[in-house]
Structure 1
Amino acid sequence: MFKRSFFLAVLLLLLFAVVFAQAESITVLNRTGRSIEIIQHASSGENQWGEDLIPEQTIADGQSAGIYISGPVPWSLRFIDSSGDIYVLYEVFPPASGKIRLGPEHLARLSVFAGARRRVQIVNRTGFPIIALQLSAVGNSEWGEDVLNGQPLRDGESRTFQLEALPGTLNYDLRFNLVAESRESVYEKPAVILTNGAVIVLTAH
């Protein structure tokens, strides 16, 4: 029993060593002007981002950090800073220097208007007061918290909100509750393009 456990432990250690040896050690130099909070990678042929390579770690501007990347090359790397803006590097091969420099020139254009925080103006043209407003990314079955936070939006009134959104996601479903003749009704506005600086007009049609 002891020998079996011993050999199993040795086998696991060898397996870990092989996987670790196949991973490339790369130093990321942050020159974006902001702190980097998340780094993800996708190997060649993959269509989704992997887990955060620097969990519970932040790379301040001017600082560097080491990461390990495995999988077929070329890689794609995604970086998200403290403001929710996204930087992307495509067609990445293991650098001879072992270092990758990340600068403002790598800022993804999409993140300029589809970052994690977006300034959006909501205009009420329903003819009635809106007492609740919720958002949900298209394809997500769960609604977010009430954007109005218990403060009704009167008919004809407009209000600007700083909304939390999924970086890179443009299309959102909107659901709003309005009160007409002491009766509450629920309306939905599907697939609204929600960009930074957008003006959303809500109607009851």
Structure 2
Amino acid sequence: MTMPRRLFALLTMVLGLVAMAAFPASAQQGDPSFTLVNRSGQVINEIYVSPTREPNWGRDLLGQSTLADGRSFPVRIAPSAGCRQDVRVVYADGRPEERRNQDTCAISEMVFGGAAPRGPSAAPNAGGNPSFNLVNRGRSAIREIYVSSARDDNWGQDRLGQNTLPVGQHLPVQLPQGDCRNDIRIVWMDGRAEERRGVDTCALVNVVFP
């Protein structure tokens, strides 16, 4: 039986619309890469960019370099990472500045002016992301790492488990949102323990031992 031409044309149009709707969303998104511009009046020592859905910041994009005032840094992001990104910089004086849930597909530049925070919003315990990287810059591996809220009476479980943290490596420590004051304890391979109490981990990216 022959299909009428009008019906055939209608089916062809419907199938075309279905194919467009099924086209991968990633192919319809823009490029999340952008240029980070430093107009803060001081050097930026560290830059972190990660998808908003990720709980930790990942590696410092500057590595051993810094970003001088007035200079720019190209941030390359794979399209598969999506458009919504969190961005964090750390200035030479140690002060961090963050931009959360940024649609980087909609911009070509992100400018950091570095104005110091003012008013109640600057309070370190107002809530934020307490996750951080614990960095080993000692002379031996770290065999145990404990992190707990400063309000808790015990250390909880060893975050390394059966592993160790070699010299020069870091461990991403993921913590629940909002509880900024934390106690940190490490044990070196020779059994020496080192503690830091009441650390405001929302105000930093890296905790370096020793």
TM-score by length of 1: 0.44
In proportion to residue count, which structure has more strand?
1
